[in-house]
Structure 1
């Protein structure tokens, strides 16, 4: 079980790193766009589309597993103090299972949308040029699925008390 835990941690860290690189690339891209607009009077074409359709989606969804892994999601700990011991442990397991089910349901729905977008070749028109956006539709299902797996991997840690 420890090996599975390490694999989940590494994957979550890798996707968080990709999300961090997305932030850095977005920063460079937007800075270059502003500089080009002010220095040369010409912005970089498609910056708005690329930022909103690629970078923002990457930053928002890929690191979900890492956030779950670090227990950094918004949570209410009202019942934690009222339910110590086995009842609290059962509560934590129930919450992890429920979160995993919700993540998997959202992943399923977003995967359907991603497949539809791929099949029709979704794009945005930027100054008469087609910018393909269908690849970004696959990022949410990847992020939600990893977050669900992290929630499921957390359950044995709760059972053994090593959470």
Structure 2
């Protein structure tokens, strides 16, 4: 389980780098589009499609698992703060399973949509350009699936009592 955890978190780190690269490319692309539009009176074709279907999707969904790995997702602990530490621990353990199940379902449905988009050759027409957008459909199942894997591994660590060991290994 530890080797799978290390491999999954390594892939999650790469996903975060890809998300950062997508943001940097988006900034450069939009800046160049503004420059070309206002200085040369000739905007870059496909900017809106690239930002909407590639940069934003990759920056949003691919790094999801890294946020889970770092416990960086937003949480509101109004009710759980009133619980004892043991009850909070067990509640958190079972929430890994529930959240992992929801994300598995999301990844599965998104995968089906991505395959359908690929089969259809989904594309967007912007101006005189036709841009294939189906590859971007795979970002959501990738990010959600990897996050679901991490959550399920955390749930298994909770069940087997290896949670403390896994948390120490993360630091």
Normalised by the size of structure 1, how large is the TM-score?
Answer: 0.92
- Unaligned 5+ residue runs, structure 2? none
Structure 1 counterpart of 2:92: 92
Structure 2 counterpart of 1:160: 162
Provide the secondary structure at the position in 1 that maps to 2:76: coil
Q: Deviation digits for residues 17-49 of structure 1, max 9, x if unmatched?
A: 100010001011111111111210111011011
Structure 2 counterpart of 1:2: 2
Structure 2 counterpart of 1:151: 151
- Unaligned 5+ residue runs, structure 1? none
Provide the secondary structure at the position in 2 that maps to 1:130: strand
Is this contact kept in 2: 1:111–1:141, CA < 8 A?
yes
Q: Deviation digits for residues 45-100 of structure 1, max 9, x if unmatched?
A: 11011111110110110000011111111222234333334322211111111110
Correspondences of 1:77-156 after superposition (within 5 Å): 77-156=77-156
What displacement does 1:137 show? 0.7
Structure 2 counterpart of 1:36: 36
In 2, Cα distance between equivalents of 1:95 and 1:152: 10
In 1, Cα distance between equivalents of 2:85 and 2:22: 42
In 2, Cα distance between equivalents of 1:30 and 1:93: 43
Is this contact kept in 2: 1:45–1:126, CA < 8 A?
yes
Normalised by the size of structure 2, how large is the TM-score?
Answer: 0.88
Provide the secondary structure at the position in 2 that maps to 1:78: coil
Aligned length: 163
In 2, Cα distance between equivalents of 1:115 and 1:157: 33
Is this contact kept in 2: 1:123–1:132, CA < 8 A?
yes
What displacement does 1:156 show? 4.6
Q: Deviation digits for residues 93-143 of structure 1, max 9, x if unmatched?
A: 111111100100111111111111111110011223211001111110001
